[in-house]
């Protein structure tokens, strides 16, 4: 190894240029930055044509720089510029072609200075470079499109993504809260769909709203079997007009007719469009279970199958008006203690020609119009036998002067007739 001779190589001396570019000569020279304006964009090649601001130089098909890019499958962060956007064109020092280095805002004058702007002595004055950008806080990172869509990484960890003020989602790290803001919400899923918001056909100042959700039982089913709707239900499934439904009963009681339906739940296999929730015509006759409530408090339940209600404690049903129980089969009331039937104005029990059985009795009770035979015993004659006074065992009562001695009874007398008043047919 040779000893150090005190000579320091001149590393600052430019090295010979290895290439010559179209815009630069031989050797390493200083890079130039020009302010320019985009006049055309090649959306296929990701290049742009620009004209410099002051000397009007034209640069054709130059590429656009990015904070990061990689040629592997388009990886990176990049923006397709628009015509008339203001940019900075860089002419490299060692010969590569020019490229767009960055984009800047033009200076504008304010009609009225903002309250937090300082005067000209403070360096702000009426000029601004805001260019319509959303005012951020120190540390905020903002992505915003011309049409109002945006993404903001707020300082503090809050993430805000949206298309408009009424179509956005906010992620808040405190308690890990996700907040959705929308005017209309639609979620499509293999299991069904959710549609929530303002009616698209409403033109009122106070438009109608509805939340509906559909459910498929199996992911490969074309249509949904279950629908739940709340709010102003726009397409309720009506009742069948024949005896299988309660169309006439609902009209008689005014349920769901005078007041809009505000909650509806229906099970109808294959009866609903899985995305929109629109009922199929087959849903009317194919409904297996249905219940709804209207805005006035009216309610309705119909089930094609059996329904069982099991209550561990007390059950109380109160109606301020009439109550009607009707069954096409047997009606059984069973109690382990006692059954009470109480009425303030009367109690009517009718069998409509049938038999009323009390306590399992089998003997019929005659009713009005029945012919009956009644056996009445004849009244026996009575003889008085005098008893002498002083007879032992006879009280010293002057009235007790004899004893009653019945004779042999006469034969029984039988009468026939028709009952004019009485109770219904009862077995007791």
Note the pLDDT tens digit of each residue in 247-288: 999 999 999 998 999 999 999 999 999 999 999 999 999 999
**Domain end position, chosen among 58, 90, 107:** 107
Assign residue 87 the CATH number of its domain: 2.40.50.230
Q: Is residue 79 part of a domain?
A: yes
**Do 189 and 177 lie in a common domain?**
no
Q: Which domain holds residue 95?
A: 32-107
Whether residue 400 lies inside any domain: the answer is: no
**420 pLDDT more than 70:** yes
CB neighbours of residue 124 within 10 Å? 15
Sequence-separated (6 or more) residues with CB below 8 Å from residue 24: 91, 92, 93, 94, 95
Mean pLDDT score of the chain: 83
pLDDT over 80 (residue 14): no
Residue 410's pLDDT band (boundaries 50, 70, 90)?
Answer: low
Domain co-membership, 193 together with 159: no
Check whether residue 255 and residue 283 sit in a common domain.
yes
Instruction: Specify whether 298 is located in the same domain as 198.
Output: yes
pLDDT band at 119 (very low <50, low <70, confident <90, very high): very low
178-230 tens-digit pLDDT: 999 999 999 999 999 999 998 766 667 888 999 999 999 999 999 999 999 99
How many structural domains does the chain have? 3
Does the pLDDT at position 327 exceed 70? yes
**Is 208 found in the same domain as 150?**
no
Whether residues 163 and 96 share a domain: the answer is no
Q: Which of 62, 90, 107 is the last residue of a domain?
A: 107
Residue 393, domain member (yes or no): no
Based on the fold, state whether residues 61 and 95 are members of the same structural domain: yes
Pair (140, 237) in one structural domain:
no
Does residue 304 surpass a pLDDT of 90?
Answer: yes
Q: Based on the fold, state whether residues 91 and 50 are members of the same structural domain.
A: yes
User: What pLDDT, in 10s, does the model give residues 91-111?
Assistant: 998 888 999 999 999 988 876
pLDDT tens digits, one per residue of 49-65 = 999 998 899 999 999 99
In 78-149, DSSP assigns E strands to: 86-91, 99-103, 108-109, 127-128, 141-144
* Residue 407 covered by a domain: no
pLDDT category at 120 given cuts 50, 70, 90 is: very low
Given its phi and psi angles, is residue 6 left (phi above 0), alpha (psi -120 to 50 degrees) or beta? left
């Amino acid at each position: 190894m040779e000893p150090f001779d005190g000579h320091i190589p001149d590393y600052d001396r430019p090295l010979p240029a290895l290439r010559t570019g179209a815009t630069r000569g031989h050797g390493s020279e200083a890079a130039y930055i020009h302010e320019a304006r985009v006049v055309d964009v090649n959306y296929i090649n990701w290049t742009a044509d620009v004209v410099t601001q002051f000397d009007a130089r034209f640069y054709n098909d130059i590429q656009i720089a990015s904070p990061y890019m990689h040629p592997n499958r388009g990886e990176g962060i990049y923006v397709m510029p628009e015509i008339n956007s203001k940019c900075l064109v860089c002419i490299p020092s060692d010969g590569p072609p020019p490229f767009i280095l960055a984009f800047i805002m033009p200076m504008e004058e304010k009609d009225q200075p903002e309250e937090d702007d300082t005067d000209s002595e403070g360096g702000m004055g009426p000029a601004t470079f805001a260019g319509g950008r959303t005012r951020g806080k120190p540390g905020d990172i903002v992505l915003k499109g011309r049409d109002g869509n945006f993404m903001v990484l707020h300082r503090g960890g809050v993430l805000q993504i949206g298309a408009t003020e009424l179509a956005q989602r906010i992620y808040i790290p405190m308690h890990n809260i996700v907040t959705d803001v929308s005017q209309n919400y639609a979620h499509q899923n293999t299991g069904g769909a959710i549609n929530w918001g303002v009616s698209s056909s409403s033109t009122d100042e106070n438009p109608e709203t509805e939340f509906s959700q559909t459910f498929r039982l199996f992911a490969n089913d074309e249509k949904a079997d279950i629908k739940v709707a709340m709010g102003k239900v726009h397409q309720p499934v009506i009742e069948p007009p024949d005896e299988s439904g309660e169309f006439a009963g609902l009209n008689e009681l005014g349920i769901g007719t005078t007041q809009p339906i505000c909650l509806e739940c229906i099970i109808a296999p294959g009866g609903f469009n899985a995305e929109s929730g629109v009922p199929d015509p087959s849903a009317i006759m194919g409904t297996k279970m249905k219940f709804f409530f209207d805005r006035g408090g009216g309610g309705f339940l119909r089930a094609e199958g059996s329904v069982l209600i099991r209550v561990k404690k007390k059950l109380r049903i109160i109606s301020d008006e009439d109550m009607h129980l009707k069954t096409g089969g047997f009606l059984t009331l069973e109690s382990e203690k006692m059954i009470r039937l109480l009425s303030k104005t009367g109690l009517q029990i009718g069998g409509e020609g049938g038999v009323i059985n009390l306590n399992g009795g089998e003997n019929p009770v005659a009713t009005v119009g029945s012919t009956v035979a009644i056996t009445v015993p004849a009244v026996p004659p009575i003889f008085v036998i005098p008893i002498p006074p002083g007879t032992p065992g006879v009280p010293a009562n002057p009235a007790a002067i004899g004893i009653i001695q019945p004779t042999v009874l006469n034969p029984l007398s039988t009468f026939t007739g028709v009952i004019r008043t009485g109770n219904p047919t009862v077995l007791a």
